[in-house]
Structure 1
Amino acid sequence: MRNPAIIISALFLVVAALAAGFFVVGDFLKEKDVDAFGRNEIASNGNVQGELYPGDPRTEARLVQREDERLIYVRTVASAARWRVDGLKGPYRLRTDSTFTLVLPARETPYTVADLLQLAPKAFVRHPGGAYLLSENIVVLPGANLSLATAKGAKSLDLRLESSAGSFVSLVALGGSVTIAGTKDAKVSITSWDSTKASPDFETRDGRSYIRLIGGHAKLSHARVANLGFWSGNTGGLSLTGTNTISPFKPAAPPPKPAPQDAAIAGARLLSDKQLETLHPADEDYSVVTAGIDNAVFENNAFGLFAANARDVAVQDTAIRGSLVDGLVLHRFVTNAAITRTTSSNNAVDGFTLGRSTTGVVLDGVTAQDNGRNGVSLDGRPLSDGPNAVGTAVEIYGRNRITGSTLKDNRRYGVEISGGARLRVAGNTFEKNQVGVVVNHAARDVVITGNKLRHQKEHAIAIREAGASAVVSKNLITGADTGVYVRNARADVTANRLAGISNHGITLRGRVAGTQVAGNTVSGYGSIAIWAEESAGGAVGENNLLGWQPEYTLQRVANFVFQPLTFVWLVLGALLLVTALSGGRRRRTGTIRNPYAERVPLTSLSKGILAPEEIGERE
């Protein structure tokens, strides 16, 4: 019969070896998974990130082009009409596409709701419930101000822009100003409206009403702007798109004429085709746009609030939510903007986007939450990397900062910094993003300090890509897979406190020349506190690692078990245990017997000492 002790000991050794091998591989894969996240991040997300746009790209792009042509036609006429049309005074009307465009020229006093009722009695109508419906386009020229404000004693102003399958209208300022002013107790609401469905227009495929300022000034207070815009930033909802130069263009043929019965519409004068034939294009120069916005709500627009070629844009105490693309976008050449106490949430892509050539922007006390991609995206890369057709400069941009803000539950990053210089992320709170802060695309002179980063799913702070550099100091990081991750970049990682880390406190990978890691307090229960085995050029100084406890994986157990002396003692212990168990089993199943049964006196095995005569007698 085979010895059961030998069999059990052999099985023990096999199981121990398999377990050790399994966890060695498991720990290796874990390390590679974290690295693969950083390496394949852009490819895995692709160019389209967040929630996909629900509209029709081909149709909507054509509608954007058609809107541009309409506005060019209007400003071409406007640039010469006052000088070439006899007796033209005050507002007038143009045929554009299947509707009209009401043009408001300069005057000293603002145009009001009451003026619109007189100028467009058939196209600006008050419904029995008190809401106003606008069914033709409005253009505000330089020197004019359209004021949409709640009347004295009114509870609110509800303005609806006709937007149905057949057509949609817009409100555009060509150098003029627009004021949308409510009060705390009497707010202004502007939304698209589909009269055929008696509801806001939720469909973008056939276009949707929008508000746009090209130059001039926008002022919004205690207003709600909802369900506006489609496809592009210019037509995205409320758009502030100043420009330094506009090249007028006159179409080869005038736009389609409306139905004959509309030609005699009352109100503002309708210019005839004969009068328009005498007009010629003239250059018009509009300045950049400026804006002041407070206590506003932008809801369910294509882009919540879009700005380009703008300066001195101030947004405060405002909420942006449910946008089909981004929440607040500062796209091109936006300078000296201040965004304070503003929330951007539940947008399909980013909460706040600062595009290339945007400088001097402050995000202070903002909240970016539950967005489909990043809470805040900052792109400071050059507009061009060499000679180009229009001579665009190759300079990088920056001087932007995010302070005192909250960035939480965004599906990708809390803040992504792509290129740029002199950028500051300070005193913010990050919670439950995939990664808290990412610095890449050669961004330099980035300061990340005094932030609280809680429970990021992967890295709390990641500095990566050749040329990227950052100072990471005095941050409190808790509950991440990796606290600070530096790959092929340079970073000064000093005086940070890291706790509850599950893998590495600080990781250095690749070429990290000039990187310093010192003065950090790292605690957690992971693999290695500071991991720099696959890096070159970095310097790891003194750090407080007393709170770090290596994770008790089977790899560590296997390493402990297979120490020579430990292995011998474990085998001996197993043999003794098996022997004791097998002996006990025999005692339980057999009978009780004398242990000295085979060692008895010889006298007990014979008849004893007998006399000779007794032997005979006994026989």
Structure 2
Amino acid sequence: MTKRRPGPGTRLRRAGARTAALLGAFAVAATLLLGASATAHADGDADKKQKLASEDAETQAALVADEDHRLNQVRAFTSVAPLQSTKWTVPFRLDTDNGYTLVLTERSNAYTIADLLKLAPQTFVRRKDGSYVLTENIYLNVGAKLKLSNPGGLTLRMASNRSGFVSIVSFGGELSLQGTAQAPLTITSWDPQANKADTDVGDGRAYIRTIGGQFEMTHTKLANLGFWSGRTGGLSLTGTDRPNTGSLEDTGQVHGKTARERADAQGNAQDDQNTSSGDITAMPSGALTTPDARFSTAGLSYVSGSITHSTITGNAFGIFISSATGIEISDTTVENSLEDGVVLHRFVSSSLVQRTVAKDNGGDGFILSRATQQVRISGSTAEGNGGNGYTLSGKPLADGPSASGQTVDSYGSNSVANSVAKDNGRYGVEVLGGFDVGVQNNRIEGGDMGIVARLAADKVSITGNRLTGQNRQGISVRDGVTGATVTGNIIDGPETGVYVRDSAAEIRGNTVQDASNHGVSLVGGVSGTTVSFNVIGGVGPSALDSSRSHGGADIKENQTFAWYDTSSFWVKVKHYASPMTLLWTGILLLILFSAVMGRRRRRANGRGTGIVHPYSDKAPLPAPPPDEIAVAGRRREPVMSE
């Protein structure tokens, strides 16, 4: 049984003891290159998320750190070495702690399958069934191009087992995975000993990653790749905010003693003008041949690319993208991922996801994390995922001074439109903070809640959606949301149709059918909220529940004739017992009480109990005779005396 990969110190000592014989090199490569893998199958839980023991988690985290260290070593060497000798401007191989890495350097034409067969005849091998097995890491340096395609179709199996794993990493290059509709490209992790795909993430697993540069994938099937982190999650497109030359302790020791000794043995020693004594190298004054990488301040590098007509199955993270602009994902299916399906992480902007399906993933189907903006999801489907169907987060990266110094501004201008969320474990769509977020014309079926907007989101537009079969609330607007618009939605069968808590929203023109508790429920401070022109039907305590709210919501012109009120007598009394109602009720009772008491007094005085005119015992005063007033020269007229 193959042992688990040894620690870095042990691997370094073993690397120093390797012979240069081809047979020995091939044996070491076949053993070391199969590195860490991830359990691509679920443990049987409904959410299909694998539960990791603490020791497995520590192992995988350490493997990610090892990969970061290896890539830093390779990046450092490839950035500085070409400045010292022209021999490093053509493809070469590095022997690092984690095995061999074939470095493809910049040239005008793209590297192809034929080139890989020549450059790595022992670690890139064609099998009898026509597939290719890769047992060596491949690294595309800045400007290098690699095109994996074959007219008759191509199957690439990346070695991955308990002994190790391989990766294809492009750093500022162009990586192209191209199949056709009739002959797709297939890439999978592969355990050579078991002769099957690697489905165990506990010891790492093969992965593909693009750091900066460009990426293109079409008519491709990826399966069972990646482990633990987003950047090693299977297929990741990430930018970089680190200096391209890496972090070097001493530029004069870029190669290390062993590398210089191998170069001397091959007759490629450094120029005689440099004199060395131990670890110190003397060089003439003037321009530096090798810049000091400690103080390099390379700018940010963003990645761009497209993924179309492809299928991704069983990855740790289906697709992971960060620090990218202009990404397009279309006509693609991402399924059975151990974690989330499509993850657009930090600083992704101006990107489009359309006609893409994320189903049966352990976490969320689609995630737009913090610091993503101007991302549009259209015509897509999220079904059967363990978490949300769609998560759109626009929260700021910091809420004040922080160690990272990030901005406190929110992010936004993201939208989900004309899409479907069906039978996801949590919510259909969840909006977390941000501004100018649109959730429009979607169909949402099942789930605990349909659409949830919370955490101080601003200007959220929830319009024209059809929601059916939610367990609790069809639409929920809560926890400090402002400027929300909930209009033209059809909500069928939830416990509560629209729920607003401590937020301000316009609830207008919605149709709620077959609700079992409340049609519209207002809780907490709802100042600035309007509930109007809604049609509400169902059976429950109340169609419009505002008894637990304060702030003076404007409720008007709603149609509740199709609502059957099942509340108890005292609940109804509490509902209708407003101050004005109590005042007028008291006045009416006082009048009735006075009338009753008057009848009792008349009956006690023997005047009967019939109705008597209140002034029947009164008589009008007699009219006095008229007096005449004499006026000189005029006719006398009778007048009434005072």
TM range (shorter): 0.7 to 0.9
Once the two structures are superposed, residues 319-358 of structure 1 have per-residue CA deviations (whole angstroms, 9 ceiling, x without a partner) of 0011111000000000011000000011111000001010
Structure 2 portions without partners, runs of 5+: 1-45, 282-289, 575-642
- 2:247 corresponds in structure 1 to 249
How far apart, in 1, do the equivalents of 2:269 and 2:57 lie? Answer: 36
How far apart, in 1, do the equivalents of 2:224 and 2:194 lie? Answer: 14
Query: 1:76 touches 1:280 (CA, 8 Å); kept in 2?
Result: no
Summarize the Cα distance change of 1:381–1:343 in structure 2 as closer, same or farther, 3 Å threshold. same
How far apart, in 1, do the equivalents of 2:134 and 2:204 lie? Answer: 16
How far apart, in 2, do the equivalents of 1:448 and 1:430 lie? Answer: 12
Amino acid at match of 1:177: E
Query: 2:223 touches 2:314 (CA, 8 Å); kept in 1?
Result: yes
Report the CA distance between 1:97 and its aligned residue.
1.8
- 1:38 corresponds in structure 2 to none
How far apart, in 2, do the equivalents of 1:512 and 1:87 lie? Answer: 71
Pairing 1:545–2:560 present: yes
- 1:117 corresponds in structure 2 to 117
How far apart, in 2, do the equivalents of 1:96 and 1:385 lie? Answer: 42
Once the two structures are superposed, residues 93-139 of structure 1 have per-residue CA deviations (whole angstroms, 9 ceiling, x without a partner) of 10112421000111110000110000000000011111100001011
Pairing 1:534–2:544 present: no
Report the CA distance between 1:554 and its aligned residue.
11
- 1:497 corresponds in structure 2 to 511
- 2:78 corresponds in structure 1 to 78
- 2:582 corresponds in structure 1 to none
Report the CA distance between 1:273 and its aligned residue.
12
Selected match of 1:305 from 300, 319, 328: 319
Structure 1 portions without partners, runs of 5+: 1-48, 560-619
Query: 2:542 touches 2:567 (CA, 8 Å); kept in 1?
Result: no
Q: Which runs of 4+ in 1 moved over 4 A?
A: 49-52, 251-258, 269-281, 552-557
How far apart, in 1, do the equivalents of 2:455 and 2:483 lie? Answer: 10
Pairing 1:188–2:195 present: no
Report the CA distance between 1:68 and its aligned residue.
0.7
Summarize the Cα distance change of 1:495–1:137 in structure 2 as closer, same or farther, 3 Å threshold. same
- 1:512 corresponds in structure 2 to 526
Report the CA distance between 1:203 and its aligned residue.
0.9
How far apart, in 2, do the equivalents of 1:257 and 1:502 lie? Answer: 76
How far apart, in 2, do the equivalents of 1:67 and 1:361 lie? Answer: 30
Report the CA distance between 1:85 and its aligned residue.
2.4
State which drifts further: 455-464 or 96-105.
96-105
- 2:460 corresponds in structure 1 to 446
Query: 2:77 touches 2:254 (CA, 8 Å); kept in 1?
Result: no
How far apart, in 2, do the equivalents of 1:51 and 1:384 lie? Answer: 32
Query: 2:457 touches 2:480 (CA, 8 Å); kept in 1?
Result: no
Pairing 1:399–2:413 present: yes
User: Between Structure 1 and Structure 2, how many residues are aligned?
Assistant: 500
Selected match of 1:352 from 366, 389, 413: 366
Matches within 5 A, 1:82-481: 82-150=82-150, 152=151, 154=152, 156-246=153-243, 248-250=246-248, 282=293, 283=296, 284-285=298-299, 287-481=301-495
Once the two structures are superposed, residues 434-459 of structure 1 have per-residue CA deviations (whole angstroms, 9 ceiling, x without a partner) of 10011111011000000001111110
Query: 1:190 touches 1:224 (CA, 8 Å); kept in 2?
Result: yes
State which drifts further: 133-142 or 459-468.
459-468
Query: 1:80 touches 1:281 (CA, 8 Å); kept in 2?
Result: no
SS in 2 for 1:211: strand
Q: TM-score scaled by structure 2?
A: 0.74
Once the two structures are superposed, residues 359-378 of structure 1 have per-residue CA deviations (whole angstroms, 9 ceiling, x without a partner) of 00000001001110100111
Once the two structures are superposed, residues 543-578 of structure 1 have per-residue CA deviations (whole angstroms, 9 ceiling, x without a partner) of 011111224889999x9xxxxxxxxxxxxxxxxxxx
Once the two structures are superposed, residues 578-603 of structure 1 have per-residue CA deviations (whole angstroms, 9 ceiling, x without a partner) of xxxxxxxxxxxxxxxxxxxxxxxxxx
SS in 2 for 1:67: helix
Query: 2:89 touches 2:106 (CA, 8 Å); kept in 1?
Result: no
SS in 2 for 1:75: helix
SS in 1 for 2:564: coil
How far apart, in 2, do the equivalents of 1:280 and 1:556 lie? Answer: 79
Report the CA distance between 1:469 and its aligned residue.
4.2
Query: 1:95 touches 1:255 (CA, 8 Å); kept in 2?
Result: no
How far apart, in 2, do the equivalents of 1:116 and 1:383 lie? Answer: 43
Amino acid at match of 1:542: E
Report the CA distance between 1:164 and its aligned residue.
1.0
Aligned-residue RMSD, C-alpha? 2.9
- 1:564 corresponds in structure 2 to none
How far apart, in 1, do the equivalents of 2:459 and 2:128 lie? Answer: 60
Summarize the Cα distance change of 1:271–1:183 in structure 2 as closer, same or farther, 3 Å threshold. farther
State which drifts further: 92-101 or 170-179.
92-101
Amino acid at match of 1:173: S
How far apart, in 2, do the equivalents of 1:533 and 1:145 lie? Answer: 66
